[in-house]
Structure 1
């Protein structure tokens, strides 16, 4: 039986570019509007090895690497049908996350579709201010985690109080993403996941999220905006020790669960991730995927 290190080295791999944060301004912000995402930070490509976990998918667990792939069929017929997804998918995801984590209560926090092709035809004018929920965006193109550690406890408490008023309380929470591709394989821009064990606890800097009707420009991007009260992601600088993985040729009946933040730091507690362009397969297909965030509570 192969040792773990040998098992991981025997798998197929690809050389690809991962986008990391470069030296630049101290104020890092991510502005999002309909079909557009703009960062104030500068990012650059770094060539890395991305290993294909497909052949050893059962080797990956939430508590060891921080992510796992499993068979999770869905009743959704059309993921571009917002009403259908709103009506059915949140409950599906909550059930799957509860089963995968063993949590007693799961609060779904909304969903987003990402498409690596031309998304202009999917954009619909919203009434009132733009809301970053249930729309179609391009793939996220840099190494990041969707919540920054210093904000995670506060966010988890706010979500619990909203969804579970008068609840018994919780001892542990896991903030995660349930990620599914629904376009045929092989996808041209799959999701890369960084093994938690290769990431230092002190890595990452905040990137504050601003959901706006219009993207600001120039000096307006750096004006005072009350960042301390807003959600923020963690973004990462290049580290040659990072070990990147992906699951090639995913089907719509599979899903990845990856951790954004686990309050139990004795196990894998977060996973940097990003989209990347995989040129290793012929006849590549546009990647269409849906991600749903949730917080799982252990009461």
Structure 2
């Protein structure tokens, strides 16, 4: 697969603290800084979740209808927990979301359900402060030697994907590239808003960007959003981008993201 140069939507440095919504993006304060960056096919490098922070995994799910929330709750949560436990050697894995379905704009379905827009600026879902809070809460008072937060991202639409997800090798990211922001969740059912701290990312020409071309339904990307072990990849900035080499008739991207927390007990 040919490498490409794509526009990566960074966030401008030196601006008031950014914030963004899960649904009401018209209220976001995220000053975008579009930068052309090389994006390479990660299939060629054998990326590893504890080195670059992301890796491609083979996984066949028995879920047949990804819009069936009951099936995701009853079946896919357990599938994801078992997969991450096998891949990482964690003692326990807790899947914290029944699944986030997202659609590229061309589908006409972006925004049709809760948090269904593609993530259009470079970010990390949680920062260290949020990760520590979530880790302690999830452990329920039990002591642990390591805690790591993972996402499992799967393209449900056939290849090629028009708006794939790009991942930045964490070894190319400087500490001051990470900008504290507020992620605000505004449920469409009118439930109260809630928020936590995340990171958005400023441009750095040293960043090394990758994606997995032509993903199939039996593949997924496991990537890290935090890890308490300083000897391993810490987190992965990521962003949805328009693939300049995707054909005009490429099917609109549909994807699902599962989020999980893994523990190694003391």
TM-score by length of 2: 0.90
Q: Which residue of 2 aligns with 1:144?
A: 123
Rounded Cα–Cα distance in structure 1 between residues aligned with 2:110 and 2:245: 27
- CA 1:120/1:66 → structure 2, altered by over 3 Å: closer, same or farther? closer
Shift, 1:54, TM fit: 2.4
Q: Residues of 1 paired with 2:173 and 2:252: CA distance?
A: 30
2:216 is aligned with 1:239: no
1:155, 1:102 → 2: CA distance?
Answer: 20
2:12 maps to which residue? Answer: 22
The C-alpha deviation readout for 1:217-236, integer Å capped at 9, x for no partner, is xxxxxxxxx9xx94121001
CA distance in 2, matches of 1:195, 1:188: 22
* Equivalence for 2:23: 33
Aligned residue in 2 for 1:82: 69
Do the aligned partners of residues 155 and 122 (structure 1) sit closer, same or farther apart at CA in structure 2, a change above 3 Å counting? same
CA gap of 1:142–1:54, structure 2 versus 1, over 3 A, is same
Contact 1:25 1:41 in 2 (8 A): no
Partner of 1:61: 48
Distance 1:121 1:293, change over 3 A: closer
Does the C-alpha gap of structure 1 residues 192 and 38 become closer, same or farther in structure 2, counting only changes over 3 Å? farther
Shift of 1:38: 4.5
Question: Structure 1 residues 155 and 87, CA, compared in 2 at 3 Å: closer, same or farther?
Answer: same
Matched, 1:71 2:58: yes
Structure 2 counterparts to residues 195-234 of structure 1, below 5 A: 195-212=169-186, 230-234=195-199
Cα pair 2:7 2:34 within 8 Å, conserved:
yes
* Residue 28 of structure 1: how far off its partner (Å): 1.6
* Structure 1: stretches of 5+ with no match in the other structure: 1-10, 124-134, 215-225
- Which of the two has higher C-alpha Rg? 1
Q: How many residues were matched structurally? A: 257
Task: Give me the TM-score of the superposition, normalised by structure 1.
Answer: 0.80
Alpha carbon RMSD of aligned pairs, Å?
2.1
Name the residue aligned to 2:91: 104
